[in-house]
Amino acid sequence: MRGAVVRTHALEARYGDAQALFGIDFELAQGELVAIIGANGAGKSTFLKALTGLVPVERAAVHLFDEAIGGLPPELIVRRGLAMVPEGRRLFPSLSVEENLRMGSFARRAGPWTLDRLYAMFPVLKDKRRSPSGALSGGQQQMVSIGRALMSNPAVLLCDELSLGLAPVVVKEIYAAMPAIAAEGMSIVVVEQDVSLAQSVSSRVYCFQEGRVSLEGPSDRLTRAQISEAYFGT
Amino acid sequence: MADTIIQGVLLGGLYCLFALGLSLMFGVMRLTNIAQGDFIVMASFGAVALASVIGERPLWIALVLLPAGFAVGYLLQRYLLNGTLGRDPLPSLVVTFGLSIIVQNALLEVFSADPRALGSGGLNTRSIAIGPVTVGELPLLILATALACTGGLQTLFSQTAAGRAFRAVSDDRDIARLMGVQADRVYATATAIAFALIALAGVFQAMRTTVAPADGPMLLLFAFEAVIIGGMGSFWGTLVGALVLGVTQQVGFAFDPGWGLWFGHLVFLAVLVVRPQGLFPKTKG
């Protein structure tokens, strides 16, 4: 795919002696929403960490806008337009809601996302902006985590397990914000355990299995049987 | 009694300046600087040495030593202490303990074991009467400086973007880096500020009394007790802890000249037993 926003080629990653990713080829186009599914330990989170610089990888294995960025420190990668909503939300506990959001704009990238715009999208956060982040419900914390990532005005938003530990109705509310986020051409990657949810929100799906891509295709054309085989390797 | 308490509060101001750097470094990096006291003594000797060049002009000496302390702290953190940080607190303890020994012996080698002092142009002998109590001008200046430094640090941490970055890195280093925070530089800046405060404390200590190369561990102990009594990671807590320590020591001295430090240690131990998190804890985990 020419002009891919994010492209990985033969991406490998390891934690010490344990190899977690075995040659991932991945592409993400401008404005595309891609879902990554797979069982626990398939390497989905490691893949996102490899993109953001939290896990060391080969320089040429990751390209952002046709520039090799693999293994750069995370603080430089975010300045080039890649932001992550980490698994488990990971808000800063000693910072208030608004301070958490302001931390998102630390990289000072220009763009449409501002505090006002976030508060318009998630009005409940405005009411709680002075609360400590730990005082919020899980869903509200997830909104803060998404908002914090958006505040860096990224070109690519990586979301790791947005639905983790949240009630289905809350998950639905969170995903309802995605079209508004994607409206201005932002490319989005969601890692998701819930396969049918992943299919319904994305245009393309990658399935990971034991550190490899076991299946890739348009979300609406993959069959249950295909996914089941790619998921469990049966 | 009122006099004893006022003298204790004034002494507490000095202890607060000893302790703020320790509190700052622990709050941001979970790093306990065992060489805190020795660096204060080094700053005192730096002030004495400087006085032999530019004369006993404390303000000018401070104007030279504070930026120097800032630079030393920045470089020390960036090129030595950052390498010791991690989940395990032991490497940083061992390295700063090593620094403590190096600094003490270097001071002994260069300045000999003789106590020195910095002339303050009469500031340490002048006093003003507040009601029935006479208060020394120098201790009053030290207390005012301690209050200003505590308030300044608290404002820096709670009101500014740099302060948010300090707290964010302290909470979750990886996520702060994802936001674009350069953790290594934030740590270096925190230590730089701590060392500017150390320089300030050193100048005041040399003006107030005599300093000798072996004084460091005692100053570290006072700083450490103030931080623990106040609660780790809270600047107002450190100030209150320092005042409690100062007042307790003065009350002890009033009973018996040999009891002052002992009383301070007793209160410190009592706080550890009754309220181990300190009076105003901020730091979790």
List the domains of chain A with CATH numbers: 32-51+81-232 (3.40.50.300)
> d(Cα A119, Cα B85) in Å, to the nearest integer?
37
CB–CB of A49/A123 below 8 Å? no
Is the dihedral angle over the CA atoms B160, B161, B164, B170 positive or is it negative?
A: negative
pLDDT one-digit tens code per residue, A53-83 = 999 999 999 999 999 999 999 999 999 999 9
User: Is the CB of residue B234 less than 8 Å away from at least one CB of chain A?
Assistant: no
Name residues 131-170 of chain A within 8 A of B (Cβ). 148, 152
Residue B71 has pLDDT above 60, yes or no: yes
User: Is the CB of residue B285 less than 8 Å away from at least one CB of chain A?
Assistant: no
pLDDT one-digit tens code per residue, A96-127 = 999 999 999 998 899 999 999 999 999 999 99
Q: Which of B212, B214, B188, B226 is nearest to B14 (CA)?
A: B226
Tokens encoding B180: 């674009």
pTM: predicted TM-score of the whole model, two decimal places:
0.91
Name residues 131-190 of chain B within 8 A of A (Cβ). 161, 164-165, 167-168, 170-172, 174-183
pLDDT for A108 equals 85
pLDDT for A2 equals 54
User: Is the CB of residue B122 less than 8 Å away from at least one CB of chain A?
Assistant: no
Kindly report the average pLDDT of chain B as a whole number: 93
Contacting residues of B for A132, CB less than 8 Å apart = none
CB–CB of A97/A118 below 8 Å? no
Write out A158-187 in H/E/C secondary structure: EEECCCCCCCHHHHHHHHHCHHHHHCCCCE
Domains of chain B, by residue range, sit at: 20-216
Q: Count contacts between A and B (CB, < 8 Å).
A: 67
